[in-house]
With several copies, the nearest count.
Chain A
Amino acid sequence: MGMKSDIQLIKDGKRLDGRKPNELRDITIKAGVLDNADGSCYLEWGGNKVLAGVYGPKQCLPRHLSNPYKAVLNYRYNMAPFSVDDRKRPGPDRRSVEISKISAEALERVVLLEKFPETMVDVYVEILQAEAGTRCAALTAASVALADAGLPMKDMVTAVAAGKIDGTVVLDLNKAEDNFGQADVPMAVLQHSGEIVLLQMDGDLTQKEFHQAATMAIEASKKVYELQKAALKDKYKERGSK
């Protein structure tokens, strides 16, 4: 956030990539793309390319981490070395560890883990190409992959970010906006209950601006949710036609 520059990010009410303030980037979602994983999802979101895979419920290893009341949900957000301009060294860095932690917590709210005590569910998300907003793209894809794996879920998790650029609250920051903008608010919302299960913010927002950003993100999440549902339907149709 907040790198200085003379770049004007909004001109004549349009953003540099031509979007209106409350417009999402293009999103494509496909469920069931991997053969080994129990559930999977490939998602493109603007320039982001994200692959999610789910294994489980399965035996919890190492055993001493298992929980007698519910399944343990592990989430691994991982950037491929070639996903960013400067090669990302393999292995978890501090940023990945934090994103994995809060994303797991978001999913724990919806997956009926108590149905599978002593087991674990592994959610792996590979960021193949990164262009701002990967954590929301990853979590949105992971939610579809969990549903594709047939895991019982209370609701779908849909993640969208809003932010502030050139003093204006906008939806779904792209890379330039993320670098030179003034605030970013990644959120994840449950469609049926309206609950917020992931929320971060950094930058500079007044209470009013936060309200505007949060409302905008929640509104947009409905569109993303439709794409999540459609992806799962397409998958079942395909299966049916085979």
Chain B
Amino acid sequence: MSVEEVALEVKGDYVRQLAAKGMRQDKRKMDEYRPIKVTPNFIPHALGSSYVELGKTKVIAGVSMAVGTPYPDTPASGTLMTGAEFAPIASPLFESGPPRPAAIELARVVDRGVRESKTIDFDKLCITEGEAVWMVMLDLHVIDYDGNLFDSSSLAAISALLNARIPKYEDGKIIREETSGKLPVSKKPVECTFAKVGDVLMLDPTLAEEQGMDARLTVATTEKSICAMQKGGSGSFSLDEVEGLIDQAFKKGKALRKLL
């Protein structure tokens, strides 16, 4: 166990003691987000991008596009691929190497929020049915890690998609300098993540709170619907708790959507 891991364990214990008294380390309310800052188009050379700070957590999302053949069962639809890299620059807890389960889970949960909300009109990404479609590649790059990568990454993702443009495509070639319009993005799905620490439910856990938590629930919503959920951690939720958190997610989601 590294020094960092030991230190984190101690912090996790402290988080639990505080939570039992209804408190959080940074004095936030249980249903309060840390300060959020969204900087769209942070990487202007990329087709779409955004830089999000959520407290000390910092994530960049970038959009790349390529032309490829569609899946046989959806010959007239573009595709989406979401990747997440926990660059070791972001935390002493990350190591180089292939994506670990946590990074894979992050990419898949962000992907699900985007995909299932049907915010991207994939049919408009068809170039020639059965032959050529736009493949949207969404990459999440964590550069400073202090917990709640789900919410920060999904915010960065949707923000990047909202400012993404499609390059021109002519005679089988991509002309990156020119654009053929914006990526067709219609909704703003956002994800809200809650930690359960003992019996306490708290929004937007920090790294220390994630360490101390028993379980985690992420709820992705659009204005009207839940579009994705993911429970994590070795603890559990009652159905009442889940429904209460869904309720909160709808409320907090509205505030998040205003940042976009």
**Direct contact between A and B in the complex (CB less than 8 angstroms)?**
yes
Please choose the segment from A7-15, A200-208, A224-232 that sits at the chain B interface, where 4 or more of its residues have CB less than 8 A away. Answer: A200-208
Question: Number of A interface residues, CB 8 Å?
Answer: 70
| Contact B239–A194 (Cβ < 8 Å) | yes
Contact among B2, B85, B91, B242 with A199 in the assembled complex (CB-CB below 8 Å): B242
Q: Is the CB of A34 within 8 A of B144?
A: yes
User: Is B49 positioned at the interface, with any CB of A under 8 Å from its CB?
Assistant: yes
Q: Contacts of A193 on B, CB cut-off 8 Å?
A: 236
Q: How far is the CB of B246 from chain A (nearest CB, A)?
A: 6
Instruction: Check A81–B58 contact: CB distance below 8 A.
Output: no
10 A/B residue pairs, CB under 8 Å, sorted by A: A36-B91, A52-B89, A82-B63, A82-B139, A90-B139, A101-B102, A105-B234, A202-B112, A203-B116, A211-B243
What string of 1s and 0s marks CB contacts (under 8 Å) between B228-258 and chain A?
Answer: 1111111111110011001100100000000
Q: Does A28 contact B (CB under 8 A)?
A: no
Q: Is A17 an interface residue (CB 8 A)?
A: no
Q: Are B62 and A82 in contact (CB under 8 A)?
A: yes
Q: Which residues of B contact A117 (CB under 8 A)?
A: none
Neighbouring B residues of A30 by C-beta, 8 Å: none
Known A34-B143, A81-B62, A82-B139: A94·B104 in contact at CB below 8 Å? yes
How far does the alpha carbon of A212 sit from the alpha carbon of B226 in the complex, in Å? Answer: 14
Interface residues of A (CB under 8 A from B): 1-3, 34-37, 40, 47, 49, 51-53, 55, 58-59, 61, 64, 76, 78, 80-83, 85-87, 90-92, 94-95, 97-98, 100-102, 105, 108-109, 122, 124-126, 128-131, 185, 190, 193-207, 210-211, 214-215, 218
Partner of B231 from the list A36, A131, A198, A218 (CB cut-off 8 Å) is: A198
Q: How far, in angstroms, from A204 to B172 measured CA to CA in the complex?
A: 35
B141 touches A126 (CB 8 A): yes
The reply to whether A196 and B101 form a contact with Cβ atoms under 8 Å apart is no
Among A58, A61, A80, A202, the residue within 8 A (CB) of B116 is A202
Chain B residues with Cβ under 8 A from A130's Cβ? Answer: 45
Q: Are A108 and B238 in contact (CB under 8 A)?
A: no
**Total chain B interface residues with beta-carbon distance under 8 A:** 70
Interchain CB contact under 8 A, B242 and A214: yes
**Chain A residues whose C-beta falls within 8 Å of the C-beta of B217 in the assembled complex:** 199
Most chain A beta carbons < 10 A, residue from B66, B91, B229, B243: B229
Give chain B nearest CB distance to A63 CB in angstroms: 12
Nearest Cβ distance between residue B7 and chain A, in whole angstroms? 12
Q: Please, which residue of chain A has its CB at the minimum distance from the CB of B82?
A: A94
B13 interface residue, CB < 8 Å from A?
no
Q: A81-B137, A94-B107, A98-B108 are in contact. Are A196 and B60 (CB under 8 A)?
A: no
A83 touches B232 (CB 8 A): no
Q: Is the CB–CB distance between B101 and A218 below 8 Å?
A: no
Contact A81 B92 (CB under 8 A): no
* Given contacts A80-B139, A101-B101, A124-B88, A207 and B246 within 8 Å (CB-CB): yes
Contact of A94 among B62, B108, B250 (CB under 8 A): B108
User: Within 8 Å of chain A (Cβ to Cβ): is B145?
Assistant: yes
Residues of B within 8 A of A185 (CB): 229
